Amino acid sequence: MQENTVKIFDQKQVRSHWDEEKEQWFFSVIDVIEILTGSSIPKRYWSDLKKKLTKEGSQVYDKIVRLKMQAEDGKMRETDVADTETLLRLIQSIPSPKAEPFKQWLAKVGYERMQEITDPEQSLDRARENWQKLGRSEKWIQQRMSGQETRNKLTDYWKESGVEKKDEFALLTNIIHQEWTGLNVKQHKNLKGLKTQNLRDHMSEAELIFTALAELSTRQIAEVEEAKGVKQNAIAGKKGGKIAKDARLALEQRTGKKVISPENFLPPTPSNKKLDK
């Protein structure tokens, strides 16, 4: 198994990839450079640094690899990544007061991963800690974690029923999401002004609850109908999504308030509005 995820350093996101076969992390070089330099154009900084390293005959750049990670437009695109050892050597070429704290953070990330492999429950504790650092309320965190457990049970069923490819998981997720919200995942992210951020991490409590209802309903329907493969699970997904849609419409009619919200947890700017915590 290979895992793409996002780690948090000083409230800033670092796109990361865990390679289980090699048992090591790979980190987005661009994200790290942006954090260390504060540059508004980290790609240009990295381009200049690559030229400098090549000119100096450094072997650091030779160890940089390309992996697909989620880009600002939400699509998976290839980007330069480095393992921890290479990143530590690269940091030496970047003058920054954050260099030493970042090195300590890298060591902590590696140590925590080894702990999580031994005790998977610790990964939930890390997630809770990250959300707390980002200012989420305990009520929101509890709903987010409960929804994730519901999601995991659904994806486990999909795997057992013959759904294997990542794009098939994305397709089924999108079917459920569009059915209950009236928006596909990309449209929902655009509504909230999100780019590379995880949509669920920026949902309101109500959005999280209805997402969980849609996915719980989908799994239970799929189990009863013994859905197999993408096609049959897609049918179950539309049925499960409709249950959440009907509940959403009923609530909106009773309260006069929309469940689907453009609000997010992004840092406040004149163009976005932060959710109440």
Q: Name the most confidently modeled range: 49-53, 59-63, 267-271.
A: 49-53
Other beta carbons less than 10 A from residue 54's beta carbon: 12
User: How far apart are alpha carbons 186 and 256 in whole angstroms?
Assistant: 26
pTM metric for this prediction: 0.59
Candidate from 40-49, 122-131, 231-240 with smallest mean pLDDT: 122-131
Long-range CB pairs of 164-172 (<8 Å, 24+ gap) are 168/230, 171/230, 171/234, 172/230, 172/233, 172/234, 172/237
Higher pLDDT, 215 or 17: 215
Higher pLDDT, 114 or 241: 241
Amino acid at 100: E
Tens-digit pLDDT profile for residues 196-212: 778 998 999 999 999 99
User: How far apart are alpha carbons 216 and 222 in whole angstroms?
Assistant: 10
Tens-digit pLDDT profile for residues 120-154: 455 566 677 778 877 889 999 999 989 988 999 99
Torsion of CA 240, 5, 196, 155, to 10 degrees: -10
Q: Identify the helix (H) or strand (E) that includes residue 167.
A: helix 166-181
User: How far apart are alpha carbons 144 and 26 in whole angstroms?
Assistant: 26
pLDDT, position 59: 77
With bands split at pLDDT 50, 70 and 90, how would you rate the model's confidence at 172? very high
User: How far apart are alpha carbons 130 and 63 in whole angstroms?
Assistant: 30
Structure-block tokens of residue 179: 């059915």
